[in-house]
Amino acid sequence: MNTPSQSNDLQPWDDFDSAWYLAHNYKTLRFDDREIIERMATFLASSGPGLSGIDVGSGTNLYPSLAMLPSCRSIAMVERARSNVGWLREEIRGYAPTWDPFWGALINAQADRYKPIEARRLLAERAGVQQGSIFSLPRGRWDIGTMFFVAESITARPDEFERATQSFVRSLRQGAPFAAAFMRHSTGYRVNGLKFPAVSVGEAQVDECLAPVAYDVTVTMIPSGKNPLRDGYDGMILATGYASGS
C-alpha cells in the first residue's frame, strides 16, 4: 500500500548529494550504460538536425544530452533538485574528462554522426538548465527527448510513475523520437545515506505505460550481470519510440 511519505513531492530533493551520486554512478563507463548508449545512438541516428530537445531529470548524467547533440539546436535539461541544477550549470560549461569515455561510446556506435562534433563546445552553446518538475512539463513543445532513470526513481507510487512517464512523452511533438531508461524492479536507493523511493517496474509495465502516448515502441532489457551498480534492482530497461501526440 502506498503511504504519503512515498510520494514524489515529500522527498528531500534539494538535499540530493550530486557529487556522491556522480562518483557512485558515472565515475567509470559501465558495460550496461555502454550498451544503452550504443542502442540509443543507433535509434537516434536518423533524427535531426536543427531540433529542439529535452532531457528530463538530468541529475548528474550528461550522456542522454550528448546523444542528442548532433540533432539539436537547443537542449533543455530539466531538473528538480536544486543541487543537481547547480552541478549541471557548472558542468555543461566545459564538462569533465569523466565524460570522454561516454562520448567515445557514442562515436564507436555512430562515428559519422558523432566524431565530427566538438562536444564540449556545442553542449555549452546549445544546452540550458531549467529547474522544474516532470509533472509540470508543457505539452507538445519539443522535437526529441530523453528521460533516464527518472520516472521509476522519484516515487513509490505506481500512479505517479505512470503520470511522470506520460508527462515526459506528452511534452514532445507528434512523431518526435524519444529514448527512456528505467531501473528494472528497483526497490529504492540511497544517496550518501538518504533513502529515496522507487517503483518496481518490468518491461511489461513500461510498455503498458507508454502505449497510450507513443507508437513503434521497443522495450529492451539490459542485464547488469555479476557486477550490479547497487543492490535492489535486476537490470535496466531501455524504451525507444515516437510520441503519438495523445
Q: How many angstroms separate the Cα of 78 from the Cα of each of 35, 43, 168, 179, 236?
A: 24, 22, 11, 15, 22
pLDDT at position 74: 98
Q: Among 17, 4, 2, which Cα is nearest to 195's?
A: 17
pLDDT at position 6: 83
Could you list the residue range(s) of the whole structural domain that residue 172 is in?
Answer: 4-243
CA distance 224 to 164: 25
> How does pLDDT run along the chain (246 residues), one tens digit per residue?
344 458 887 788 889 999 999 999 999 999 999 999 999 999 999 998 999 999 999 999 999 999 999 999 999 999 999 999 999 999 999 999 999 999 999 999 999 999 999 999 999 999 999 999 999 999 999 999 999 999 999 999 999 999 999 999 999 999 999 999 999 999 999 999 999 999 999 999 999 999 999 999 999 999 987 777 787 899 999 999 999 998
> Could you give the dihedral angle defined by the CA atoms of residues 79, 83, 85 and 86, in that order, rounded to the nearest 10 degrees?
180
pLDDT at position 106: 98
Please say whether the beta carbons of 181 and 149 come within 8 A: yes
pLDDT at position 5: 56
Give the CATH number of the domain where residue 152 resides: 3.40.50.150
The structural domain count of the chain equals 1
pLDDT at position 134: 97
CB-based contacts of 61: which residues, under 8 Å, 6+ apart?
Answer: 25, 26, 148, 149
pLDDT at position 1: 37
Please say whether the beta carbons of 73 and 53 come within 8 A: no
